[in-house]
Every structure is written in C-alpha cells, then in structure tokens.
Amino acid sequence: MNCRSSTMHFVFIGFIMQSALMRSADTINCSQPTAESLLQALRESVFGKTEVRPVINPRTPTKIQLGFVLYAVLDVDEKAQILDTFIWLRFDWTIEGLSWDPVECGTDRITLPRKKLWRPDIVINEFISDNQAPKTYYLYLYNNGKAEDQLPVHVISSCNLDIYTFPFDIQNCTYTFSSYKHTIRDVQILFLEPVEATLKKSLKYMETKGEWQLTDMSARKSANSSYFNMDGLDRWDELVYNIVLKRRPTLYVVNLLIPSYCLITVDLCSFLLPPQKMDRSAFKMTLILGYTVFLLLMNDLLPVTGDTIPLISLLSLYIKSAGPKV
Ligand SMILES: *[C@@H]1O[C@H](CO)[C@@H](O)[C@H](O)[C@H]1NC(C)=O
Ligand SMILES: *[C@@H]1O[C@H](CO)[C@@H](O)[C@H](O)[C@H]1NC(C)=O
C-alpha cells in the first residue's frame, strides 16, 4: 500500500468521524419536556457559535428564504431622489444538523434572543439611512433546525424618480436584497413566496392612504453583481423587487390645474372687452394679481429635481409670459 493512498484513507476517515461528531453534538436531547431543559440543551450545542455559518461542511451554502410585506409608503422626495417606506421583513434559514424530539422536549419551537445565533447579514442595497424602526429581539427556532427571523425595517432608499408627467406620474423603485459580505458560494437567497403573494399582502395591510398608491410589484433573482471582486468570479446572490407606485393626483388637479385653466380662460376672454374702456385694464390688473398669487402657490406644489422639470411647468411659463400683457 503506498503512502499516498493511506493518507487519503486517513483524511477520509477523519472527515467522517468529524461530521459524525458534529451531527451527534447538534441532535439534542432534553432531560425533561420543559423549556428550561431545552434551553440547557441548546446552550450546550448551538449557543456561542454565532461566528460561524451553521453548516456541517463549510462548502455548503446556507439558503436564506426571504420575503416582506410593504406596510407603508411614507414619503417620496423628488429633490433628494428618496423613497421612504416601511416594511416587515422575514427571513428563514436552517441550522444544519440541529433537531430535537418535540415530545421529549415538550415543544416544537422556541423563541430565542436573536444574538444567540448566527444570522445572515441581509441588506437592501438601495438603503441610504439608518433603520429607525422599533428594535426587536427575538426569533423562532423550530425542532427541525429552521430559524425564522422577522423584523420591521424603515427603508429610506434611493430611487430614480421621474417627474416629467407630474402629477400623473408613476414611479418604479427597486429593492435589492442581498447578503452584504457573503457571496453566492456561502449564502444563497430564495423567494419565501411568489411576488404576487407579496403584492396581495402589501395591498391588504398597507395603512397609508396618502399621495402614493401601490399598483404593482415584480421580482427576479439575479446573481450578476460582483461589486468589489475585480476578477468577477465571486458573485452576490440577490433578489430584486420592483415596486410601482402611482401618485393620486386629486390634490394637484384641484389646487393647480383647475385654477390655472380658469385663469387662462378668463384671460383669453378679457380680449373680448373693448380695449378703449378703463374696465379692461382694471380687469387685467386684477388678473395679474391672481397670477402672482397662483405662481407662488405653484412653486410650493411643483416637485423639483436636478435636470428634469415637469411638463406642467410649461403652464407656469405660459402664465409668466402671458400675464403682464395688458
Ligand atoms: C442524544 O441521544 C441520541 C440517542 O439516544 C444519541 O445518539 C446522541 O448522542 C445524544 N446526543 C447528545 C448531545 O447527548
Ligand atoms: C420597472 O422597472 C423594471 C426594471 O427596470 C422593469 O422590468 C419593469 O417592467 C418596470 N415596471 C413598470 C411598471 O414600468
């Protein structure tokens, strides 16, 4: 027997023994069917391993199932190109090899402080501010090793907002969920549920009935991003959600469009007055006053961005140029 094959044997046996050891260490036994005894058993086998991904073979990627519900659209800031929303995020993963007998331990799931376990570092790439949502502390751990984490997130995200058709504009914003550090070799992200279900739940639970209305959502899985890897071999697994929001234009129609059309109509009709009469200039002076007030109001209502102006701004151009012609 040559030396090389005996080394191979040794490594192989060592590997089997190691995984067998790890497996038996993770299948936990409770002395009594109480939470106390389950906790004691978990303390010995799972707690304190927050630093390493819970897999038996380090080459196995951890699969994260991710889903969310869009709970509120708080603000859309055209100038800063920011979308301000609130979501309920949920992600599930599995602690490999961990299991317990629900009869022996008295329960099939237990709540645990989040910091006791390894957690994936899921982020939304468009995120540009702190999460100001209420802090939460617990997650569920199931007897088959599944961990289920859920948390509220106040998402202040960047979005490319197009205001050309204001106030009848539709915005299409993106949330890209991915692990911040783990690449596709270590962490893979899957859909917890189809995007249709996410849309349906979001429409059901959404509390805000403000200026913006959620109309559609689409999602796809992508693994094309390789931000910092110059060789491009390691990629990040991502879930890309597109969120389509439509502005409710009533406020702007009532305060902007109707008054301006009235002013313009009255202005045009004023040419029917005989020009010699004093009445016409007095009438025009009143109109100019009306225009001025209206322009001030309009400046407050119109959104501004860097390089596009809404089409409706042409109205104000018209008023500015046509107004003073007495
Ligand atoms: C739990 O019990 C099983 C079967 O009785 C045993 O194989 C395993 O080693 C035990 N696990 C621990 C952590 O004691
Ligand atoms: C939103 O943008 C995505 C990607 O750019 C596109 O696939 C999708 O069709 C857009 N949705 C709408 C309603 O425009």
pLDDT tens sequence across 151-206 = 999 999 999 998 888 889 999 999 999 999 898 989 999 999 999 999 999 999 99
More confident of the two residues 266 and 36? 36
Give the pLDDT band (50/70/90) at residue 57: very high
> What's the CA angle centered on 201, arms 150 and 221, to 5 degrees?
70
Question: What residues are in contact with ligand 1 under a 6 Å CB criterion?
Answer: 24-25, 27-29
Q: Residue 257's pLDDT band (boundaries 50, 70, 90)?
A: confident
Q: Strands of 187-191's sheet, edge to edge? A: 109-113, 138-142, 146-158, 82-94, 62-77, 187-191
Atom 4 in ligand 2: which residue has the minimum CA distance? 242
CB of 242 closer than 6 angstroms to any ligand 2 atom: yes
pLDDT at position 14 is 44
**Each residue's pLDDT tens digit, 80-132:** 899 999 999 999 999 998 999 999 999 999 999 999 999 999 999 999 988 88
pLDDT at 39 over 70: yes
Is 123 close to ligand 2, i.e. is its CB under 6 Å away? no
Q: Average model confidence (pLDDT) for the chain?
A: 84
Confidence bin at 3 (pLDDT 50/70/90)? very low
Q: Alpha-carbon dihedral of residues 302, 308, 310, 315, nearest 10 degrees?
A: 90
Look at residue 187 in the predicted model and tell me its pLDDT: 94
Q: Is the pLDDT of residue 267 over 90?
A: no
Name the pTM for this structure.
0.82
Q: Is the pLDDT of residue 41 over 80?
A: yes
The values of phi and psi at residue 116, to 5°, are -80, -15
Which of the ligands is closest to the CA of residue 30? 1
Q: pLDDT confidence of 22, banded at 50, 70, 90? A: very low
**Parallel/antiparallel/unpaired status of strands 170-179 and 236-247:** antiparallel
| 3-state SS assignment for residue 23 | helix
Q: What tokens appear for 44 in the block?
A: 């010995």
The reported pLDDT for the residue numbered 37 is 92
Nearest CA among 269, 268, 312, 279 for reference residue 294: 312
Tallying the residues shown for the chain, one arrives at 326
Cis, bond preceding 167 (omega within 30 deg of 0): yes
Considering 60-69, 200-209, 232-241, the range whose residues carry the highest mean pLDDT is 60-69
At residue 312, does pLDDT exceed 70?
Answer: yes
State the CB neighbour count (10 A cutoff) for residue 325.
Answer: 9
Q: Whose CA is closest to atom 5 on ligand 1?
A: 29
The Cα 182–Cα 188 span in angstroms is 9
Q: 122-149 pLDDT, tens per residue?
A: 999 999 988 889 999 999 999 999 999 9
Residue 316: pLDDT over 80: no
How does residue 319 score in pLDDT terms, banded at 50, 70 and 90? low
Distance between Cα 242 and ligand 2 center (Å): 6
3-state class of 175 per DSSP? strand
Output the six-digit token pair for 41.
Answer: 């058993």
Nearest ligand to the C-alpha of residue 31? 1
